[in-house]
Amino acid sequence: DKGEFKHYMLKEIYEQPDAVRRTVEMAVDNGTTSKLRDDFLQRHEAQLKGIKHVQVIACGTSYHSGLVAKYWFESLIRVPCSVEVASEFRYRNPVVVDNTLVICISQSGETADTLSALRDIQKHTPKGLVSLALCNVPTSSLVRETDIFLPTLAGPEIGVASTKAFTTQLAALMLLVLKVGVVQERMTGDNLTTLLGQLQQLPGQLHASLNLDVPIKVMSEHFEYKKSCLFLGRGLQFPIALEGALKLKEISYIHAEGYAAGELKHGPLALVDKDMPIVVLAPKDSMFDKLKANMQEVHARHGELFVFASEESKMVAEDRMHVVYVPDVCETLAPIVYSVPVQLLSYHVAVMRGTDVDQPRNLAKSVTVE
Ligand code: F6R
């Protein structure tokens, strides 16, 4: 039931504060910031202790959450992590080193390529292999065929475009990074306390980001007749740029590409002209100054900038530059909060263009064919 909402997608965007809260509470008791809950992945501590490398396999939006996890695994706890789309991984005879944790991320748990990639790895049985399903459907094939089940507590997702499944995947991946960090003694108590505190602020920040609905709807009017669009981000926001581009193309049918902003001058800058909207994910983080330089490159070529920034950054709208302020959030968890404005932007553009938002042409919710 869509209730008061016009589309399931919008309803599911609005469910994110609760969905993320439920997911975080699997591992963190409300108000506790010094430790993870004892029962969180407790049965699997020995397995997680032994892993030396992480391989993420997924498709589409789930692949994008894996890309964020790579930054987290490597920068926060120094565990090497590779991420690949399942349809490539399974056909290239990849190397899976001993003591790998294979994380299959899938909302449905029935995606054919993801399942097949997992089965191929299991057939070759590398030493110390541990498989984990990060999945929204407890009864799915993926959950049955893996050693560890880490649920996303998003509740059923009906809209074909994934929204709350994505942000709950990110929250759960952060919990997993913390768990591995703790069992492998790769995380100081102070860092753990800080991150647990920040995780508990997430639902409130997501809630506040839903207030951007109105300014983003206004922003979306500039996209109605556009043919093509770029999404830029750096660091943890690069995967969110990819996700923003995927959302826009799948529901509004406007061509969009996500790019690491530092790659701009290696090719896509040639596309930039006054008809090219450029969406920039610009929290005030360690990459902000570099990103600002990238924005200037675009501005100088008459591209029109649509910037999601933090108030702290003091970015102000000017000619050919629109700014929407996103609630303040720590750098580590910012990709979760910045997912909301890109979802809302795609949604409003699609509604304006009159597409079938919940059931875009040619797409299926669960891709059980290769
Ligand atoms: C995009 C979208 C798809 C899915 C992909 C994988 O909004 O929903 O890209 O993310 O088909 O599906 P799951 O996560 O079920 O394996």
- H helix runs in the chain, sequence order: 8-14, 16-24, 45-50, 60-77, 86-89, 112-124, 141-144, 164-183, 189-210, 213-220, 238-252, 288-300, 334-353
C-alpha 351 – ligand 1 centre gap (Å): 21
Q: Which residue has the tokens 């049955």?
A: 144
Strand partners, 221: none
C-alpha 60 – ligand 1 centre gap (Å): 5
Mutation choice for ligand 1 from 108, 134, 370, CB with most ligand atoms inside 8 A: 108
pTM score, whole prediction? 0.97
3-state secondary structure at position 32: coil
Q: Whose CA is nearest to atom 9 of ligand 1?
A: 60
* Pocket of ligand 1 contains residue 108 by CB under 6 Å: yes
Q: What CA–CA distance (Å, rounded) separates 129 from 53?
A: 10
* Pocket of ligand 1 contains residue 162 by CB under 6 Å: yes
Kindly report the backbone phi and psi dihedral angles of residue 185, in degrees, each rounded to the nearest multiple of 5, phi listed first.
Answer: 50, 45
DSSP state of 332: T
Q: What CA–CA distance (Å, rounded) separates 349 from 287?
A: 28
Q: Whose CA is nearest to atom 4 of ligand 1?
A: 60
Nearest residue to 241 via CA among 252, 229, 253: 229
* Pocket of ligand 1 contains residue 106 by CB under 6 Å: yes
3-state secondary structure at position 58: strand
Mutation choice for ligand 1 from 107, 160, 247, 370, CB with most ligand atoms inside 8 A: 107
Positions marked catalytic: 365
DSSP state of 328: P
Residue 71: alpha-carbon gap to chain centroid: 12
- Ligand 1 atom closest to Cα of residue 59: 6
- Ligand 1 atom closest to Cα of residue 58: 16
C-alpha 107 – ligand 1 centre gap (Å): 7
* Pocket of ligand 1 contains residue 107 by CB under 6 Å: yes
C-alpha 32 – ligand 1 centre gap (Å): 33
AA identity, residue 181: G
- Ligand 1 atom closest to Cα of residue 366: 15
C-alpha 366 – ligand 1 centre gap (Å): 7
- Ligand 1 atom closest to Cα of residue 111: 16
Does residue 317 come out as left (phi exceeding 0), alpha (psi in the -120 to 50 range) or beta? beta
Q: Which residues, 6+ apart, have CB-to-CB distance to 204 below 8 Å?
A: 17
C-alpha 61 – ligand 1 centre gap (Å): 5
How would DSSP label each residue in 207-272? Answer: HHHHTTHHHHHHHHGGGTT-SEEEEEE-GGGHHHHHHHHHHHHHHH--EEEEEEGGGGGGTGGGG-
Q: Whose CA is nearest to atom 11 of ligand 1?
A: 60
Digits of tens for pLDDT over the chain (370 positions)? 899 999 999 999 999 999 999 999 999 998 888 899 999 999 999 999 999 999 999 999 999 999 999 999 999 999 999 999 999 999 999 999 999 999 999 999 999 999 999 999 999 888 999 999 999 999 999 999 999 999 999 999 999 899 999 999 999 999 999 999 999 999 999 999 999 999 999 999 999 999 999 999 999 999 999 999 999 999 999 999 999 999 999 999 999 999 999 999 999 999 999 999 999 999 999 999 999 999 999 999 999 999 999 988 888 888 899 999 999 999 999 999 999 999 999 999 999 999 988 888 888 888 888 8
CB contact burial 131-151 (16+ within 10 A = b; e otherwise) = bbbbbbbeebbbbeebebbbb
* Pocket of ligand 1 contains residue 62 by CB under 6 Å: yes
How far is the CA of 120 from the CAs of 67, 89, 131, 289, in angstroms? 22, 10, 12, 44
